[in-house]
């Protein structure tokens, strides 16, 4: 036991150039200056960068590294890396290993093949990567290759953001600036910086690799495009938190060790609701580092899966009929001296800082609910949101009894009391009395207060956390800015703050909903309250560059109008491309696998009818099955023709919004029709002839 403990502590962060390593390897003065630069959010000066780079290189080479790479997060939502070796040939024909400060802080990858949404013409190829020195460099071992990774932001020749990280970093600055103003106005003069924190719970599926190899749909699209539902799904509720299967537990063990080496604090692991579904949650961290870490989590889950002959599926809805996967983004704000601004304390009604921060979030979520919805828009999430397994597309907030009561008190003038949690008595003398939380949980809410943080539960499992997080940081920065403006000009801060809180409670309280978000009644009630319900990702994405949001993002210097427009284009194009690939894959499988199997089965039935008849028996039953099969084959081929036409039609559309709409309305509908006939065929065609692994095999095969 103690061996294991030691090995974890020895392994944790071993591949990270972290604070301990820096302290060991950098001259004292350089270390101090470097830490100061990071803390103050300044540029790294070149002399300093040279010393830091050299120490990093020595450390990396000792660990077997031959290369370094700038690691960035383009608009594909994935990560990108271009490796350069440290070698620098000498005149004598030998080589030395070099790594300069410039190479550390700046890279110039060709940007022309990354989505830019028109920000850059193809011939304007130059892009720049810049080290985000608040996220430590690390070493990644991929097979035999060992490389020093430098987390970076990525921009165009004209300094426009081409990635997910740049707006995230900008939004952190914006949030910090406005939160510090508010704190100062409320009398706190010590805080100089406020950070956003993120703990991203990651859900995923694991299926055996042998099934994957027979499913072109999973290979090319990440999800099943066909598959009749299994006789048994998740209805026994026997998977969630169930005891771990040995193969899964070994996999999780290896994932954890890989992540710990990278300094990713993988903490929680368990079976999720759907069969073959699991979750991993790390200990939270600063939002930009946590975003980098979530990318490493997704990559590691997939990489280690292969070693165990699994395939890890991160897609939001890989299997119809069982729950899909989300990524719950737990978010809060913390001061540089360690105060969690969303910590209510035992008497939240008289905790002014908490109340102001809480109301700032309430206002932000209510006013910018469409943007939050847009921040989680993706083809995958369209299958998930509102499907009684994830929150609906209506953004509302769960506060629980205690805080809702306080907000109601605020709305009628001021908060005087806080409901207490009390004790839980279990009625067994040997069991302890448990302190009861002041609020219950609500698993159906898109944006739930969970003790001392909010949990944004609409985020899709395959998504980068950067998008939803920079939106959240920015909209809260906006609320805080409005509050700071009021407070700074008032002569009596306490009265002014009370007035602001009452106004927000009255005007924005409509976004609070503690009930069951999955019900039809809530959809109706939300409509009455005027809360938007944007069901499709395409509609959600189209609003991003509306004037109101351009104003918001430019005010806080998070994104310019051109950058917002480009992002809208990129997201709409990505939607269309994804749906077109799905449509073409569905056609390919239907044509080359399902149809031949169905015809083969029909011809077997045809022969059977003949033979039975020849034998002097009545072949009516076999004929009936044959007729049904032939009918479905006709239905299948007709719907395939329609899908083919829809794909051809959509290809000719230039306007990105119109194209995405057509993809949604025609191709998605076309795929559903093809799938309906195919799934019905699956239920009657001989199992030996059916070419695709079934849902039952994939979800329950161990």
Binding mask 147-186 for Mg ion (x = CB under 5 A): ----------------------------------------
**Quick check: helix, strand or coil at residue 635?**
helix
Q: Which residue has the tokens 């940007």?
A: 111
d(CA 167, CA 154): 10
Nearer to ligand ADP, 294 or 593 (CB): 294
d(CA 182, CA 156): 34
Tell me which of Mg ion, ligand ADP, none is bound by residue 320, counting a contact when its beta carbon lies within the kind-specific cut-off of 5 to 8 angstroms: none
- CA max distance for the chain: 103
Q: Which stretch binds Mg ion (CB under 5 A): 82-90, 156-164, 198-206, 602-610?
A: 198-206
Tell me which of Mg ion, ligand ADP, none is bound by residue 284, counting a contact when its beta carbon lies within the kind-specific cut-off of 5 to 8 angstroms: ligand ADP
d(CA 519, CA 513): 12
Among 113, 268, 603, 621, binds ligand ADP (CB under 6 A): 268
* Chain centroid to CA 265: 17
Tell me which of ligand ADP, Mg ion, none is bound by residue 452, counting a contact when its beta carbon lies within the kind-specific cut-off of 5 to 8 angstroms: ligand ADP
Count of residues interacting with ligand ADP (CB under 6 A): 16
C-beta of 277: minimal distance to Mg ion in Å? Answer: 12
- DSSP track, 304-331: HHHHTTEEEE-SS-SSTTS---BEEEEE
Q: Which stretch binds ligand ADP (CB under 6 A): 91-99, 107-115, 329-337, 465-473?
A: 329-337
- DSSP track, 601-617: HHHHHHHHHHHHHHTT-
Q: Which stretch binds Mg ion (CB under 5 A): 193-201, 259-267, 532-540, 595-603?
A: 193-201
d(CA 77, CA 467): 9
Subset of residues 143 to 202 that bind ligand ADP, contact rule: CB under 6 A: 197-199, 201
Nearest-10 Cα torsion for 353, 357, 358, 364: 160
C-beta of 13: minimal distance to ligand ADP in Å? Answer: 17
Nearer to Mg ion, 320 or 327 (CB): 327
d(CA 24, CA 344): 39
Q: Which stretch binds ligand ADP (CB under 6 A): 105-113, 133-141, 326-334, 528-536?
A: 326-334
C-beta of 447: minimal distance to Mg ion in Å? Answer: 15
Exposure b/e, 325-363, CB count within 10 A at least 16 = b: bbbbbbbbbbbeeeeebbbbeeebbebebbbbbbbbbbb
Tell me which of Mg ion, ligand ADP, none is bound by residue 271, counting a contact when its beta carbon lies within the kind-specific cut-off of 5 to 8 angstroms: none
Nearer to ligand ADP, 283 or 651 (CB): 283
β-pairing, 447-449 vs 397-398, is parallel
Query: Please, are residues 322 and 458 in contact by the beta-carbon 8 Å criterion?
Result: no
Q: Residue 207's beta-bridge partner residues?
A: 311
d(CA 417, CA 402): 10
Positive or negative, the Cα torsion across 296, 301, 302, 304? positive
Tell me which of Mg ion, ligand ADP, none is bound by residue 20, counting a contact when its beta carbon lies within the kind-specific cut-off of 5 to 8 angstroms: none
Q: Is 201 in the site for Mg ion (CB under 5 A)?
A: yes
Nearer to ligand ADP, 155 or 472 (CB): 472
Nearer to Mg ion, 241 or 700 (CB): 241
80: its two tokens: 């990108």
d(CA 265, CA 257): 10
Nearer to Mg ion, 322 or 407 (CB): 322
Binding mask 337-356 for ligand ADP (x = CB under 6 A): ---x----------------
The total of other beta-carbon atoms located within 10 Å of residue 135's CB is 23
Among 281, 395, 403, 475, binds ligand ADP (CB under 6 A): 281
Nearer to ligand ADP, 193 or 533 (CB): 193
C-beta of 358: minimal distance to ligand ADP in Å? Answer: 14
Nearer to Mg ion, 90 or 243 (CB): 243
Nearer to ligand ADP, 117 or 199 (CB): 199
d(CA 172, CA 134): 12
Tell me which of ligand ADP, Mg ion, none is bound by residue 282, counting a contact when its beta carbon lies within the kind-specific cut-off of 5 to 8 angstroms: ligand ADP
Tell me which of Mg ion, ligand ADP, none is bound by residue 269, counting a contact when its beta carbon lies within the kind-specific cut-off of 5 to 8 angstroms: none
Query: Please, are residues 183 and 660 in contact by the beta-carbon 8 Å criterion?
Result: no
420: its two tokens: 């207490």
C-beta of 536: minimal distance to Mg ion in Å? Answer: 27
Nearer to ligand ADP, 127 or 467 (CB): 467
Binding mask 454-493 for ligand ADP (x = CB under 6 A): -x--------------------------------------
Q: Which stretch binds ligand ADP (CB under 6 A): 186-194, 325-333, 350-358, 640-648?
A: 325-333
**Quick check: helix, strand or coil at residue 379?**
helix
Nearer to ligand ADP, 198 or 393 (CB): 198
Nearer to ligand ADP, 73 or 332 (CB): 332
Count of residues interacting with Mg ion (CB under 5 A): 1
Among 140, 293, 320, 453, binds ligand ADP (CB under 6 A): 453
Binding mask 11-40 for ligand ADP (x = CB under 6 A): ------------------------------
> Using only C-alpha atoms, what is the Rg of the chain?
28
Among 294, 300, 332, 593, binds ligand ADP (CB under 6 A): 332
Tell me which of Mg ion, ligand ADP, none is bound by residue 340, counting a contact when its beta carbon lies within the kind-specific cut-off of 5 to 8 angstroms: ligand ADP
Nearer to Mg ion, 201 or 389 (CB): 201
Subset of residues 433 to 452 that bind ligand ADP, contact rule: CB under 6 A: 452
Residue 327's φ and ψ, nearest 5 degrees, are -140, 100
Nearest-10 Cα torsion for 150, 156, 162, 165: 40
Among 8, 10, 283, 651, binds ligand ADP (CB under 6 A): 283
Query: Please, are residues 685 and 629 in contact by the beta-carbon 8 Å criterion?
Result: yes
560: its two tokens: 């310019």
516: its two tokens: 């069951």
- DSSP track, 430-467: TSPPEEPPSS---TT-SEEE-SSSEEE---BTTS-SHH
**Quick check: helix, strand or coil at residue 162?**
coil
d(CA 426, CA 433): 7
Binding site for ligand ADP (CB under 6 A): 197-199, 201, 268, 281-284, 330-332, 340, 452-453, 455
């Amino acid at each position: 036991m103690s061996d294991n403990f030691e090995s974890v502590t020895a392994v944790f962060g071993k591949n990270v150039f972290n604070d301990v390593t820096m302290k060991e390897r950098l001259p004292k003065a350089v270390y101090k200056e470097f830490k100061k630069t990071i803390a103050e959010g300044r540029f790294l000066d070149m002399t300093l960068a040279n010393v830091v780079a050299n120490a990093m290189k020595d450390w990396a080479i000792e660990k077997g590294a031959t290369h370094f790479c700038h690691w960035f997060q383009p608009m594909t939502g994935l990560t990108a890396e271009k490796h350069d070796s440290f070698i620098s040939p000498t005149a004598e024909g030998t080589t030395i290993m070099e790594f300069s400060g410039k190479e550390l802080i700046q890279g110039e990858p060709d940007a022309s093949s990354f989505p830019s949404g028109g920000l850059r013409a193809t011939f304007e190829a130059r892009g720049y990567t810049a080290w985000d020195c608040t996220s430590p460099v690390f070493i990644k071992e991929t097979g035999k290759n060992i490389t020093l990774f430098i987390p970076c932001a990525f921009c165009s020749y004209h300094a426009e953001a081409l990635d997910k990280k740049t707006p995230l970093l900008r939004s952190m600055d914006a949030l910090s600036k406005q939160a510090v103003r508010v704190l100062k106005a409320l009398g706190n003069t010590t805080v100089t910086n406020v950070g956003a924190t993120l703990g991203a719970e990651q859900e995923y599926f694991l299926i055996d690799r042998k099934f994957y190899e027979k499913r072109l749909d999973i290979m090319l699209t990440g999800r099943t495009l066909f598959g009749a539902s299994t006789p048994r799904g998740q209805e026994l509720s026997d998977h969630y938190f169930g005891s771990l299967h040995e193969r899964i537990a070994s996999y999780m063990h290896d994932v954890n060790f890989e992540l710990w080496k990278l300094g990713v604090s993988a903490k929680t692991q368990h079976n999720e609701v759907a069969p073959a579904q699991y979750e991993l949650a790390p200990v939270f961290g600063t939002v930009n580092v946590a975003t980098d870490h979530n990318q490493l989590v997704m990559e590691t889950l997939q990489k280690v899966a292969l070693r165990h002959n699994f395939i890890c599926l991160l897609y939001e809805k890989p299997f119809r009929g069982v729950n899909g996967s989300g990524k719950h983004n737990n978010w809060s704000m913390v001061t540089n001296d360690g105060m969690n601004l969303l910590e209510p304390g035992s008497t939240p009604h008289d905790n002014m800082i908490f109340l102001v921060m809480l109301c700032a979030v309430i206002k932000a979520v209510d006013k910018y609910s469409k943007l939050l919805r847009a921040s989680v828009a993706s083809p995958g999430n369209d299958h998930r949101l509102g499907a009684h397994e994830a929150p609906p597309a209506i953004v509302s907030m769960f506060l629980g009894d205690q805080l809702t009561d306080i907000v109601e008190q605020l709305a009628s003038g001021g908060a005087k009391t806080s409901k207490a949690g009390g004790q839980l008595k279990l009625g067994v003398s040997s069991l302890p009395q448990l302190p009861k939380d002041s609020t219950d949980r609500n698993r159906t809410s898109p944006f739930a207060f969970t003790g001392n943080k909010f949990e944004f539960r609409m985020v899709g499992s395959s998504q980068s956390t950067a998008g939803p997080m920079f939106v959240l940081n920015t909209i809260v920065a906006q609320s805080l800015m409005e509050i700071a403006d009021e407070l700074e000009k008032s002569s009596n801060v306490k009265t002014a703050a009370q007035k602001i809180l009452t106004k927000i409670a009255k005007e924005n309280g409509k976004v609070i909903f503690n009930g069951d978000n999955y019900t039809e009644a809530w959809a109706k009630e939300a409509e009455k309250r005027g809360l938007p319900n944007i069901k499709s990702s395409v509609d959600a994405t189209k609003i991003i560059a509306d004037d109101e949001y351009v104003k918001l993002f430019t005010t806080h210097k998070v994104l310019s109008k051109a950058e917002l427009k480009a992002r809208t284009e990129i997201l709409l194009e990505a939607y269309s491309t994804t749906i077109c690939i799905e449509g073409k894959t569905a056609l390919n499988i239907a044509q080359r696998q399902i149809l031949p199997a169905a015809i083969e089965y029909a011809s077997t039935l045809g022969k059977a009818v003949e033979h039975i008849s020849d034998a002097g028996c009545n072949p009516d039953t076999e004929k009936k099955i044959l007729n049904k099969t032939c009918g479905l084959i006709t239905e299948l081929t007709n719907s395939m023709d329609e899908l083919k036409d829809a794909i051809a039609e959509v290809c000719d559309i230039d306007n990105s919004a119109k194209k995405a709409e057509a993809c949604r309305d025609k191709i998605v509908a076309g795929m559903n029709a093809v799938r309906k006939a195919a799934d019905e065929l699956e239920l009657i065609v001989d199992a030996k002839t059916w070419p695709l692994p079934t849902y039952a095999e994939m979800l329950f095969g161990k």
